[in-house]
Amino acid sequence: MMASFVLNSAVAVGHCVQKSATLLLQKNVPVIFLASRFESSLPPLTTKQLSENIQLRTVQETAHYPRPLVLLFGWMLAKQRHLDKYCNMYHSNGFDVLSLKMKPAQVLIPQRAQNTVEQLLSVLQEPGLTKRPLMVHGFSVGGYMYGELLLKLDQQREKYQCIRDQLTCQVFDSPVDFEGVAPGFASVLVDNKLAQKVIRKSLEVYLNTFKTTITSHYLRSSAAFHKNELRLPSLLLYSRSDPIGVDTKIEQVMKKWKAAGVPVMARCWESSPHVSHFHRHPDEYVEAVLKFLDSVGLTKQEAAKKVLRSKVQKSQEAQQAL
């Protein structure tokens, strides 16, 4: 009974997120114009549906440098057409994208999340995807799935050392930590304060009841996310008005990373719905992402500079050998 309730609640949250995006379109927020701008500059693409939840889209144009690959961890119940808007942003800047759609069962049943992560890691070990710069762009509860991936990379270091070496940076949009699950879900599901209290309490009882089989996995994933063992440069995109991706919790993580010497950039909006910052503030969102990518050397311009430096170095070494 309790598990069924939580599953239905998760589905409702996903629908709320989708509904917010639809309402933004109805209010003439410039989503269509931004999408058209990217689509008009998109290079030829190849799309492969690797599983029900995993899709790989690659740029067909030849690159003179290892083409970066984005691991896009979607929010719960996000459809591929929603994720494509973000994919197009990256494709227009020379990136390939491996996107993962999140289902409620993957969030509520850790074993399913772990199976999906193993499948994702298996894909990353296929010829053509190895030895390429990897970056992560995660949304909402996609941060939980990424935490599960980090745990796998730590538990099986020898097997996944190449992937550990490939990871270069991470971007998180409206990330949700464990502490915000119950109150965040409750505030989104209903407006009535009494009903929010009932739902919040029910979720807390569920998590307390299944501490070993459910909650412990969330906590380990959260700890891996907080630790950021690989010290990956990070960009956080969030809002003061988001009841799910709570700003103070996000800023606590940022403070922890900065104290550990991790380069951190952020863009915070005063009023912007959960995982809707791109829709509400398209230009500012793209500017923040591109500025971050430039800082870690993953833009086309920076990649071209690396190629040039490599050629100059090889030429100098050849001359010295004569």
Each residue of 24-81: pLDDT tens digit? 444 444 443 444 455 657 889 999 999 999 999 999 888 777 899 999 999 878 889 9
Separation CA 96–CA 123 (nearest Å): 14
Mean pLDDT over each residue of the chain, to the nearest integer: 83
pTM confidence score = 0.81
Q: Write the DSSP symbol of residue 42.
A: P
Q: Where are the beta strands (DSSP E) in 103-229?
A: 134-139, 167-173
pLDDT at 92 over 60: yes
Q: Which of 9-18, 171-180, 246-255 has the lowest mean pLDDT?
A: 9-18
Strand partners, 235: 171, 265
Q: What is the mean pLDDT of residues 196-223?
A: 87
Q: What are phi and psi of 137, to 5 degrees?
A: -130, 110
Alpha-carbon distance values, 269 to 27, 280, 284, 290 (Å): 19, 10, 10, 17
Residues 6+ apart with CB under 8 A from 99: 54, 55, 56, 57, 72, 74, 80, 83, 87
DSSP string, 138-169: EETTHHHHHHHHHHHHHHTHHHHHHHHHHEEE
pLDDT single digits (tens) 140-192: 888 899 999 999 999 999 999 999 999 999 999 999 988 767 766 666 566 78
Burial class (CB in 10 A: 0-12, 13-18, 19+), 41: exposed
Nearest to 231 by CA among 267, 266, 260: 260
